[in-house]
Amino acid sequence: MKEKLKVYLTDQGHEVSDMGPFSLDEDDDYPDFVKPVAEAVVQDPERRGILVGGSGFGEAMCANRVSGARALVFYGPMLPTGAVDIKGRESQDPYEIVRLSRVHNNSNILSLGVRFIKEDEILEAVRIFLSTPFSMDERHLRRIKKLD
């Protein structure tokens, strides 16, 4: 999936830096690859990171230990149950969590749980993640400052 994402992102005009792994080794440790991604993202506010993992959770936990990294876990589109969208309306958007993470939290890393997501869903989540702007609302800025 990582190789397909690289082609997709390049075709969309994005510059891609692959930080590994470069071959499948079931004994490697994802923190060895995730931490450099998080550090690179934090050093450049215009940069975003995309992590490809089985569940995406361990990768996000690792990334979020780097001060300034704000990783979102995405493991598939879902319609919220009893939830509302940003404007207080009942949401019918299965990618609402990706949008909210950008608008409210200025998430800078998307951690994908590829065992649970189809390729077209991954590409849509990535598209939304990269195209959704942060709101810049004072309350969100204040909260992010406390996180960092």
Looking only at the bridges linking them, the beta strands covering 49-53 and 109-113 are: parallel
Compute CA distances 99 → 107, 131, 133, whole Å: 10, 9, 9
Q: Of the candidates 77, 42, 44, which has an alpha carbon nearest to the alpha carbon of residue 63?
A: 42
Active site members: 59, 104
Looking up tokens 């949008």 gives: 99
